[in-house]
Amino acid sequence: MNSKIKDLLKDKKSILVFDVDGVLAPIEYGEYNHYCVDDEECARQIESGIDIYSSVKPIKTMQDFLKNKNMDNIYVITLVMNNKEFLQKLTFLRKNYNIKEENCYMVFKERDKLLLLNEIKEKYPDLEDKYIVFIEDTVSNLSYVMKNSNYSTVHISSFMQ
């Protein structure tokens, strides 16, 4: 079977829903590692006012991909530890991708991403489910959406070809 993922990504009627960490923002927080502190310490740092996204560079491939897209059809659903982290991500997304704030959603549990995909789908009642395209780096999240909906799922590696 030939994959039609690339066709969906190019289709003007597709609603593209991105994760942030590992998809629109590289996970490069440690000097020589992808991460440098555990989640609890990271949450404490964010609560204390440290903006962990202020020095994060956007992914050029993703910027290039999005630059000619209709931004009304671009959404984000991102896992956060607290509201301050979400505000940091919103600033990062506006600054680097011009993604509309009203198209950005947060969840505190990964499984809740599907609930928000369903909410997004409600905005497009006449659109076939396959045109709701969930773009993520975590295979278990992609598999959960795939098994529990008719939405399309795309692993970030599809952008690396």
Buried b (16+ CB within 10 A) or exposed e, 112-135: ebbebbeebbeeeeeeeeebbbbb
Strand, helix or coil at 61? helix
The amino acid sitting at 2 is N
What are residue 154's DSSP bridge partners?
135
pLDDT-derived band at 38 (thresholds 50, 70, 90) equals low
Residue 54's pLDDT is 84
CB atoms within 10 A of CB 64: 10
| Per-residue pLDDT at 21 exceeds 80 | yes
Across the chain, mean pLDDT equals 91
68 by Cβ neighbours in 10 Å (0-12 / 13-18 / 19+) ranks as exposed
What is the full DSSP assignment across 82-106? Answer: SHHHHHHHHHHHHHHH---GGGEEE
Q: What is the pLDDT of residues 41-75, one digit of tens each?
A: 767 777 877 788 888 899 999 999 999 999 999 99
| Per-residue pLDDT at 35 exceeds 70 | no
Q: What is the pLDDT of residues 89-130, one digit of tens each?
A: 999 999 999 999 999 999 999 999 999 999 999 999 999 999
